[in-house]
Each structure stands twice: as structure tokens, then as C-alpha cells.
Amino acid sequence: YVYKENRFSYEYVVKLIGTLERNRNTKVLIADDSLVSRRFVRNLLELHLFEVLEAEDGLKALEVLQRVPGIRLLIADYNMPGIDGFELILRVREKYAREDMAIIGLSNDTDETLTARFIKNGANDFLQKPFVHEEFHCRVSNTLESLEMIRKLWEQANLDYLTGVHTRRYFFDKLNPSLQTFVKQGTCLSIAMMDIDFFKRVNDTHGHDIGDEVLKEFARRMHEAFGQHFTLARLGGEEFVVAMKGLDKQKAQSLMEGFRANVEAIPFQFGELSLMLTVSIGVAELGNETLDSLMKRADMALYEAKSQGRNQTRV
């Protein structure tokens, strides 16, 4: 049908069919004051199974973005009453990075500088009205593809491939910028470094795959215990870290003791196999120092826990 009605190339239709499933769950917002134009764009998007939302001016578009989570693409007209397309995308970019949301500018204005200005303001692409269907779809599809690629790159750098928790890199990137503010304002922050005891034995006795399963289960338990309130990450191997904003070292230690006791008490179960494991934990509270120095002190406390017999929390 699409092929016949639009006289698309055969290759294009094949590619298109491949993207339909992805489109089905993708929300697109059209901001355009012209009803005719909105309906036209909506029809094109719905033909490709996108979930479409509409706003009749810039301010309404901001309202919709506020109200509806997960919009992946904004198609913004230039000339609109109230705030125009430029102002709209400037404001959108204050809240949404390029990897969170794509923007395509749209206008029937013949001003030749428009495309460049749109892109400089934060749009990913631009469409001149009137456009042919195929160009519209190519641009939408390319824009969403590059969004997905940026997201994948972000995930590779920031999410641990094995356990799904954040990486060391994410942890440092997130904490470093706010740390001096915490120091100045006297905001409490404690860090706990943990290392599974005798983990090498798990690998040696049961194989690397079971070792991996232990790491996944350990990360899952950490996420369940701390994920909602605190920042946690896998530093590497069988070492993990939690940053607890608002907790002094005593509170952090007692929280970590609870977790440690839980690891000790509840076996790691993989089918028939049941493993008893323990973890050693080192806690340090932020003083007037850098993140590196704080991490070093937590690491020293962890070393202390190891050398004093493992399966304990040290401050």
C-alpha cells in the first residue's frame, strides 16, 4: 500500500518495514500553529505507526513536554504565535540534551538562513515546506537512528555491560562536578567501597559463567538496596561503590552493615547450586578533599576490613 500510494522505491519500503516496530513505541510531538500542516504531518507519522501528539503553539508544546514523558522527537514549526520555533527549541534544549530528544525544524518561510539557524539553535535537522513524503520519512528516520546511536554510545560508556549498573566513568562524571559544592555547603556525603571476598574461588571452583552470575546477582541486590536513593557503580572486577549523599560515616556504616549481613545470610542460588558468599566494605566520609582522596580513604578502610578477616565494614 505504502509502496503504491507514495511511489517509494522498493528498497526504501523494505527499510521502512524494518523500522515500523521501533516507531510503534516512539512518541513524536508536532508543534505547529497551522491545523492543515499539523494534520498533514500527523498523517505521515501515523502511516509509519508513530504515536503522535500535537501542540498549536510553542508554549503549548512546552506544556505537553512537561506532561508527557518519553517524547523522542519534536517537529517544530518556525512561525508560530507567542514563542516561535527558535525560542521553543532553545527552551527545549535547556532541559533535553541531544541524546534525549531529537528536534526537526519546519517552515514554509523562504528565508535561506533558516536551516543553519535552526541547527545552530539545537535542531538535528530541518525541513522546508512543502516537502515530499519520502524526504520527510528519510529525515525522521535518520534523525531517530542517530539518536539511537548516541544513546548506545552513552550506554556503552556509562552502563556496565555485565551487571547493568553504572560504570566507574559515570560515577566520577556524576560526583566530581558537585563535590566542591558539597564541601563548601557542608553537605554530608559518605562513600562505601565493597569487594566480594574470595571471589576468585568462585571462578576457580564453578567456572567463569557462574562468577558472572554472582556479579549480576550481587549488583541486583545492591541496586535493590541502594539504587533508589544513592548513586552506585561497578568499579571493575568484583568491586562496587555507593555514594550516599546526606549520610555521615556512622549512618553509612550501619546501612552497609545491614547489607553485608544480608549478603552473608542469603545464599546466591543458581538452580541447584547454592553459594555462601561474604563481602568486605570500607566507608569514608567527605572532608575538605577531592573525590580521588575520598576514594583512596574508602579503599584504605576496605583494605583494613580485608586484613582484619574480611566479611566486615570498616570506617
Q: Whose Cβ is closer to ligand GH3: residue 32's or residue 238's?
A: 238
Q: Whose Cβ is closer to ligand GH3: residue 135's or residue 209's?
A: 209
Spatial separation of the C-alpha atoms in residues 165 and 142, rounded to whole Å:
30
Footprint of ligand GH3 (CB under 6 A): 162, 195-200, 203, 208, 211-212, 215, 237-238, 306, 310
**Quick check: 147 and 139 in contact, CB under 8 A?**
no
Q: How far is the CB of 200 from ligand GH3 (least distance, A)?
A: 3
**HSE (side-chain half, CA atoms, 13 Å) at 125:** 21
Cell numbers found for residue 176: 566530581
When asked if residue 307 is in the footprint of Mg ion (CB under 5 A), the reply is: no
Q: Whose Cβ is closer to Mg ion: residue 57's or residue 285's?
A: 57
Q: DSSP letters along 256-299, please?
A: HHHHHHHHHHS-EEETTEEE---EEEEEEE--SS-HHHHHHHHH
Q: Which of residues 79-118 bind Mg ion (CB under 5 A)?
A: 79
Q: Whose Cβ is closer to Mg ion: residue 75's or residue 196's?
A: 196
Backbone angles phi, psi at 60, to 5 degrees: -65, -35
Out of 136, 199, 230, 259, point to the residue binding Mg ion (CB under 5 A).
Answer: 199
When asked if residue 33 is in the footprint of Mg ion (CB under 5 A), the reply is: yes
| Nearest residue (beta carbon) to ligand GH3 | 211
Out of 77, 125, 217, 285, point to the residue binding Mg ion (CB under 5 A).
Answer: 77
DSSP reduced 3-state for 78: coil
Q: How far is the CB of 249 from ligand GH3 (least distance, A)?
A: 22
Is cis: bond before 69, omega within 30 of 0?
no
CB under 5 to 8 A by kind: which of ligand GH3, Mg ion, none does 79 bind? Mg ion
DSSP symbol at 56: S
When asked if residue 195 is in the footprint of Mg ion (CB under 5 A), the reply is: yes
Q: How far is the CB of 81 from Mg ion (least distance, A)?
A: 8
Nearest CA to 281 out of 307, 238, 310 is that of 310
What residue ranges bind Mg ion (CB under 5 A)? Answer: 33, 77, 79, 195-196, 199, 238
